Structure 1
Amino acid sequence: MSTVVPSEPTKPSQAIPLSGLNQLLDLASKRSPDDQHRLLMGVAGLYESAADHGGAPEALADIFVALTRSAEREIRRVLAQRLAKVDWAPPALVRMLAADEIEIARPVIAASPLLLDDDLLQLLADCSIEHQIQVALRPDLGAAVARAIVAGGDAAVMTALATNRSARIEPAAFADLVGHSRQLAALRAPLTRHPSLDEDLALRLYQWVGEALRQAISDRFTLDPARLAGAIQDAAQTSAGRAASDLPAAVEWDLAAEDPDARLVAKLHRAGQLRPAYLIRALREEKLGVFAHGLATLGRFEVAQVHRALAGDTARPLFLACIAVGLDRAAFPALLTEIRKLNKGFPRDPDGSAWRLAERSADQAAYEFRLLMADADGPSV
């Protein structure tokens, strides 16, 4: 009786030769977008089926990634939606889609179980503000990623993290977020509602929020009346100190002169003559009020927001506002010097580099400026 020797299990094939892969891609590129879409979805179906039967061969993964890389934007967007929640896709493909433009990346970053903390940290380091915000909003975000977001100190990304109630934020990182909320008003409302807020941090937050959020904190926590009174007194002293020193020294606005400045800027705007270069000219002519109204008009900001930026303890908001209206970031140091000459040294910049941010688009800069200058009890941007 002969002995039947069981055959060895079939191993996944090695990577497809580069020449063969190039031929396949060349063939696919000559097809119509509809044919490319059907081809890619067919490969996705094959990969899913192979995953259900012991794993897909490496060659198929290579084909899947390469075809996706060369596919048109709309095809990549549809594929990203299909793969957003699956656990069988090639991890390299998921990472590639997560780093694609944000409309493609968003569903993958939000839900893919194949993105690990290291992948998310890489997105924070390499990708746009929109990608970073989506990482911060990811459900059940890990502590290491949350810690990196807080350490990064970006206003928009930290605000997104504060709204993510399922994020695992370590106590030290959450305390840092509360500390940032003293300057970043948009953080205050989401932090007030966050499950990680404890009584000690609530009392700290209580010192610099408005009446509506103070009531929300009081409704949530049973705060000791003596400690509450102390917090109110500390907040009052801090506010009075700033009112008595910083703000009047920073911006002594001549109310009689504001109307003419506003009228001049409105006239230039109606005539189509208000340009970023005019803001620089206004400063050279020592017209700080015209600069403020012009910056607000070009950026569609509130004049009060620009005034607060000019009176700030950091030049960061002013820098963001200038980028938002199209001023060259290389010109900002000289512009800041002119403003301080006219504005008694404000805005301050104690470490000399608070405004030296990574590259921002005009839209990103405007969004961050509005976050930083948001009213304390107003809605987040």
Structure 2
Amino acid sequence: MTAAPPPDHVSELEPLLALARSRSFEDRRRLIEAVSALCDQQTPGRPVHPALGQIFLALAGEAEREIRRALADCLAAADWAPPALINMLALDEIEIARPVIAASPLLGDADLLRILIEASLDHQIEVARRPGLGGAVADAVIDRGDPAVMIALAGNRSAEISGESLRRLVEHSRRIAGLRAPLVRHPRLTETLAREMLDWIGQALRQAIGERFDIDPDALAGEVDRAVEKVHSGWSAAPIANGRPDAAEQDEMERRLVVKLQSAGQLRAGFLVRAVSEKRLGLFEHALAALGGFPLSAVRGCLRADSARPLYLACAAAGVDRAAFADLLAGVRRLTGGLPHGEPRDWADPLTPETAAAAFRRMAAPLADAGVAAGGV
């Protein structure tokens, strides 16, 4: 038979619940003070008494935001708090959930995985930042593939990230620029993985790799030159063809990334410039098709055209500024062996995105045929 709760806990229950139901400023202040006092009175390492647990659960269910936030701040590091309450707070709005996700010793891997599945992107980022994050949860973050969450994980030096998981993050850094700096500085990055990253990182990070792994600057420059040569080597005989064995898989990854960015409202014209600067032609094609609402085959066809006008119209429809197009065209040609040929006749035309899109669609059918003939879809 369960012993009756001590009278002092029972007597505290009703006044606290009455304060929780009140909406007056003074009662909210008194309630926060009472909750803080209860937390201070609890002995660490001892399970909370059922009556006190009921008080906390009732407060979380009935009180306003500032009370729940006070509870979260008080209980974030407590090992005696009711687990049900901790899980409730961890799924609350992010300002309330943040301290609990970051510090609560009562959140196990199963609880953190649930947050990854059920909660917002901000909650997922907090999970990835959690000190001492377990390997199973870190792997789940990488499996889900959200760029912002993986960037947070890469910056978490105390997370349990296996060698294979780190390799997967390095591979993701090909398309996610935000991963590169934290990975270059990650304590578990090996020289082998660092050398792989030379293919797609900027000069500052190359220098950081050279200093960290004591790589001779001349040797490092040689590796960078060979990486650039490797990127271009597939364009000599058939400029557009991609003969890599994993081309279909890469194309699907790029398509999914563009879909995810667009669904999140994060796909912008500037992404096209970035894709070209990072030598990701397939990513550029998928992004241009998505931004303009064009068939992918038509976009690929315009890269093979005898005139640069179709590409100019497609980029204008996608929101690329006219002043930026010359550099963009030059970057595309470096990736395609010089295609498309010619120069647009209407550089100075005051085209709206709608006008440019309509003009591009009028020539879409023959462009799509060219794209399909060359391997587009």
TM-score (norm 1): 0.59
Q: Does 1:340 align with 2:309?
A: no
**Match of 1:58, as an amino acid?**
P
**Match of 2:100, as an amino acid?**
V
Q: Does 1:188 align with 2:188?
A: no
Cα deviation per residue 1:164-193 (whole Å; 9 max; x = unaligned)?
Answer: 112121111001001111111111111000
1:162 to partner: Cα distance: 0.9
2:197 aligns with one of 205, 223, 234: 205
Alignment correspondent of 2:151: 159
Answer whether contact 1:313 1:346 (CA < 8 A) is retained: no
Alignment correspondent of 2:21: 29
Q: Distance in 1 between matches of 2:60 and 2:302?
A: 51
Question: Percent identity of the aligned residues?
Answer: 47
Q: Distance in 1 between matches of 2:174 and 2:238?
A: 16
Structure 1's 243 and 35: CA in aligned 2 closer, same or farther, altered over 3 A? farther
Answer whether contact 1:47 1:60 (CA < 8 A) is retained: no
SS at match of 1:313: helix
Q: Distance in 2 between matches of 1:11 and 1:238?
A: 76
Q: Distance in 1 between matches of 2:210 and 2:2?
A: 66
Cα deviation per residue 1:237-288 (whole Å; 9 max; x = unaligned)?
Answer: 3432577799989xxxxxxxxxxxxxxxxxxxxxxxxxxxxxxxxxxxxxxx
2:107 aligns with one of 111, 115, 126: 115
Alignment correspondent of 2:365: none
Answer whether contact 1:40 1:67 (CA < 8 A) is retained: no
Answer whether contact 2:286 2:296 (CA < 8 A) is retained: no
TM-score (norm 2): 0.60
Q: Distance in 1 between matches of 2:170 and 2:45?
A: 50
Q: Does 1:130 align with 2:96?
A: no
Q: Distance in 2 between matches of 1:173 and 1:242?
A: 29
Q: Does 1:313 align with 2:282?
A: yes
1:127 to partner: Cα distance: 0.7
Question: Any gaps of 5 or more consecutive residues in structure 1?
Answer: 1-7, 250-298, 323-334, 348-381
Q: Distance in 2 between matches of 1:159 and 1:92?
A: 30
RMSD: 4.3
- Find runs of 4+ consecutive structure 1 residues off by over 6 angstroms: 21-24, 224-227, 242-249, 299-302
**Match of 2:300, as an amino acid?**
K
Cα deviation per residue 1:178-217 (whole Å; 9 max; x = unaligned)?
Answer: 1111111111111000001011111111222122111110
Question: Any gaps of 5 or more consecutive residues in structure 2?
Answer: 242-264, 304-377
Structure 1's 46 and 301: CA in aligned 2 closer, same or farther, altered over 3 A? closer
Answer whether contact 1:206 1:231 (CA < 8 A) is retained: yes
Answer whether contact 1:309 1:317 (CA < 8 A) is retained: no
1:76 aligns with one of 68, 78, 83: 68
With 30-39 and 196-205 compared, the bigger mean Cα shift is at: 30-39
**Match of 1:71, as an amino acid?**
A
Answer whether contact 1:146 1:169 (CA < 8 A) is retained: yes
Structure 1's 42 and 230: CA in aligned 2 closer, same or farther, altered over 3 A? same
1:1-381 equivalence runs, <5 A: 10=3, 28-39=20-31, 41-43=33-35, 45-46=37-38, 48-51=40-43, 55-223=47-215, 231-241=223-233, 303-308=269-274, 313-314=282-283, 318=287, 336=293, 338-340=294-296, 342-344=298-300
**Match of 1:343, as an amino acid?**
V
**Match of 2:60, as an amino acid?**
T
Answer whether contact 2:98 2:123 (CA < 8 A) is retained: yes
Structure 1's 230 and 80: CA in aligned 2 closer, same or farther, altered over 3 A? same
Cα deviation per residue 1:292-335 (whole Å; 9 max; x = unaligned)?
Answer: xxxxxxx898744244569753589849x97xxxxxxxxxxxx6
Cα deviation per residue 1:57-79 (whole Å; 9 max; x = unaligned)?
Answer: 21321221121222111222233
SS at match of 2:300: coil
Count how many residue pairs are aligned between Structure 1 and Structure 2: 275
Structure 1's 301 and 94: CA in aligned 2 closer, same or farther, altered over 3 A? same
Answer whether contact 1:47 1:56 (CA < 8 A) is retained: no
Structure 1's 308 and 149: CA in aligned 2 closer, same or farther, altered over 3 A? same
Select the structure with the greater relative contact order (CA < 8 A; seq sep ≥ 6): 1
